[in-house]
């Protein structure tokens, strides 16, 4: 058997061993050098926003209806007018190629095989051309403007030429968040290796020979946004901030013919501004707690945004979703769909493309079971009537989430 087939068979077996997102996280931790694991798992400053995102779901109390006769639940939905088999979209994430040789193309294929979609980050490590031509999968493209609005417009043109129909503009990175785990590894801006950190990183890589050998055997190429050398998006890869004004969004709206999504909104007021600037959908997001610490939990910010713009555009939410029940809570509070970041990254690190598929399958099956236990037959029927409230105490015993706050890597 060729090396690639052997590796693939090992990943399929590895994926079968994952029974929840926490399993995927543990497997990722075992498999990755700590500098890479911390890049994924970490967040800004004291990691409070990450902790809050996760903890918010622990404060949800459902209001089930017994005797409804509901024994199965339909989880198919429509986002931006397109069908999805499961309302879970794979959020844009940078440097995914570092986690597993399958990289962004594997993520796109996994999403497509589960009837959903992935969002390719400007800094994913694979170009739009590569991912769309290699996979033939429907992908959305996420835009940073680290090189200015002209570079952003150039990236839009390339995405459009590749048949991308949905552009996701991330607005919550006017400065880079202070990700102290990365700082301690000596690798900010994003995971740069230089003479100061090379020895320490070399030792880490040495302790994960399988990870290193697989990447080396399949061609280690971390991040290149363009098929051409030094192409648009390189400034984002250099870890530069991406400041967008609402005028910039309006300008992009004028050149982008497809659907435009604004990601990183945390208030009804900003939701309204985004819609005024031409957004077709909003993602309530605090960048997985990687930007402004002390930002609100996204689940708590969702109702305000939904009340302001929910009747006009699709509202999505991400941050802290680790269980199917969390998807139910988000949809009951008005989200059309959710995005996940770390859960699929853990799956990718643990078992490549099959690991990503497995994480989506786990969330889909948990989502279905949770709806049946509630007595709710369909996504369309979810609403606030299924919630008792959001302020019950976070359960303490034997929980995998939330992660420990205060920058702990425990
Ligand atoms: C390792 C990593 C890299 C990320 N890179 C990007 C990015 O390039 N563009 C972006 O808009 N968001 C990025 N995000 C944020 C995600 O899109 C998403 O908002 C966040 O991960 C959701 O929270 P969760 O990880 O708790 O699910 C990244 C998140 C992680 C964990």
pLDDT tens profile 66-75:
999 999 999 9
Q: Which atom of ligand 1 is nearest to the CA of 124?
A: 8
Cα distance between residue 100 and residue 11, in whole Å: 10
Q: What is the per-residue pLDDT across 322-370, written as a single tens digit (0 to 9) for each? A: 999 999 999 999 999 999 999 999 999 999 999 999 999 999 999 999 9
Q: According to the model, what pLDDT value does residue 224 have?
A: 42
Instruction: Give the residue from 306, 358, 339 showing the smallest Cα distance to 168.
Output: 339
Annotated catalytic residue within 100, 287, 300, 406: 287
Q: What is the per-residue pLDDT across 265-315, written as a single tens digit (0 to 9) for each? A: 999 999 999 999 999 999 999 999 999 999 999 999 999 999 999 999 999
The mean-pLDDT minimum among 31-35, 143-147, 267-271, 352-356 falls in 143-147
- 330 in ligand 1 pocket by Cβ < 6 Å? no
Q: According to the model, what pLDDT value does residue 235 have?
A: 63
Q: What is the per-residue pLDDT across 301-313, written as a single tens digit (0 to 9) for each? A: 999 999 999 999 9
- 289 in ligand 1 pocket by Cβ < 6 Å? no
- 118 in ligand 1 pocket by Cβ < 6 Å? no
Domain ranges in the chain are 3-382
Pick the more confident residue, 147 or 325. 325
Distance from the alpha carbon of residue 358 to the mean position of ligand 1, in angstroms? 19
Q: What is the per-residue pLDDT across 166-195, written as a single tens digit (0 to 9) for each? A: 999 999 999 999 999 999 988 876 666 666
**Three state DSSP letters for the chain:** CCHHHHHHHHHHHHHHCCCCHHHHHHHHHHHCCHHHHHHHHCCCCCCHHHHHHHHHHHCCEECCCCCCCCCCCECCEEECCEEECCCEEECCCCCHHHCCCCHHHHHHHHHHHCCCCEEECCCCCCCHHHHHHHHCCCEEEEECCCCCHHHHHHHHHHHHHCCCCEEEEECCCCCCCCCHHHHHHCCCCCCCCCCCCHHHHHHHHHCCHHHHHHHHHCCCCCCCCCCCCCCCCHHHHCCCCCCCCHHHHHHHHHHCCCEEEEEEECCHHHHHHHHHCCCCEEEECCHHHCCCCCCCCHHHHHHHHHHHHCCCCEEEEECCCCCHHHHHHHHHCCCCEEEECHHHHHHHHHHHHHHHHHHHHHHHHHHHHHHHHHCCCEHHHCCHHHEEECCCCCCCCCCCCCCCCCCCCC
- Residue whose CA is at the smallest distance from ligand 1 atom 1: 40
Averaged pLDDT, 219-230: 43
Confidence of residue 232 (pLDDT cuts 50, 70, 90): very low
Query: For a substitution probing ligand 1, which of 341, 342, 348, 403 has the most ligand atoms within 8 Å of its CB?
Result: 341
Pick the more confident residue, 231 or 298. 298
The answer to whether residue 300 is catalytic is: no
Q: According to the model, what pLDDT value does residue 399 have?
A: 59
Q: Which atom of ligand 1 is nearest to the CA of 320?
A: 26
- 347 in ligand 1 pocket by Cβ < 6 Å? no
| 17 has pLDDT over 80 | yes
Q: Which atom of ligand 1 is nearest to the CA of 287?
A: 19
Q: According to the model, what pLDDT value does residue 233 have?
A: 54
Q: According to the model, what pLDDT value does residue 236 have?
A: 63
- 102 in ligand 1 pocket by Cβ < 6 Å? no
Cα distance between residue 35 and residue 186, in whole Å: 9
Name the class of domain 3-382: alpha beta
Task: Tell whether pTM > 0.75.
Answer: yes
């Amino acid at each position: 058997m060729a090396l690639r087939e052997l590796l693939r068979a090992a990943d399929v077996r590895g994926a079968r061993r994952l029974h929840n997102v926490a399993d995927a996280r543990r497997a990722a931790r075992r498999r990755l050098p700590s500098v890479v694991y911390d890049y994924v798992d970490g967040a800004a400053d004291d990691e409070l926003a990450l902790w809050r995102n996760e903890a918010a779901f622990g404060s949800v109390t459902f209001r089930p209806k017994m005797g409804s006769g509901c024994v199965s639940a339909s989880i198919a939905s429509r986002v931006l007018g397109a069908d999805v088999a499961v309302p879970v979209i794979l959020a844009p994430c940078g440097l995914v190629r570092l986690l597993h040789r399958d990289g962004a193309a594997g993520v796109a294929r996994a999403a497509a095989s589960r009837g959903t979609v992935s969002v390719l980050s400007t800094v994913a490590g694979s170009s739009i051309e590569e991912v769309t031509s290699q996979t033939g999968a429907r992908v959305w493209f996420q835009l940073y403007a680290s090189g200015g609005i002209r570079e952003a417009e150039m990236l839009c043109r390339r995405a459009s030429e590749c048949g991308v129909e949905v552009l996701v503009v991330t607005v919550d990175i006017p400065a880079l968040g202070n990700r102290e785990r990365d700082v301690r590894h000596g690798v900010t801006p994003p995971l740069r290796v230089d003479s100061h950190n090379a020895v320490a990183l070399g030792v880490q890589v040495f302790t994960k020979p399988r990870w290193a050998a697989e990447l080396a055997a399949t061609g280690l190429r971390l991040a290149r946004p363009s098929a051409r050398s030094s192409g648009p998006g390189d400034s984002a890869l250099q870890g530069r901030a991406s400041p967008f004004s609402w005028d910039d969004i309006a300008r992009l709206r004028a050149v982008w013919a497809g659907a435009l999504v604004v990601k990183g909104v945390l208030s009804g007021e900003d939701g309204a501004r985004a819609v005024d600037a031409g957004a077709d959908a909003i993602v309530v997001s605090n960048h997985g707690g990687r930007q402004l610490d002390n930002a609100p939990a996204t689940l708590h910010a969702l109702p305000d945004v939904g009340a302001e713009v929910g009747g006009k555009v699709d509202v999505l939410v991400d941050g802290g979703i680790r269980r199917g029940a969390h998807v139910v809570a988000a949809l009951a509070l008005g989200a059309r769909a959710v995005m996940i970041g770390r859960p699929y990254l853990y799956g990718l690190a643990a078992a490549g493309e099959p690991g990503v598929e497995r994480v989506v399958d786990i969330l889909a099956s948990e989502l279905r079971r949770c709806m049946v236990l509630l007595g709710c037959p369909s996504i369309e029927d979810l609403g606030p009537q299924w919630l008792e409230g959001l302020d019950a105490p976070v359960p303490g015993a034997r929980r995998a989430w939330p992660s420990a706050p205060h920058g702990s890597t425990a």
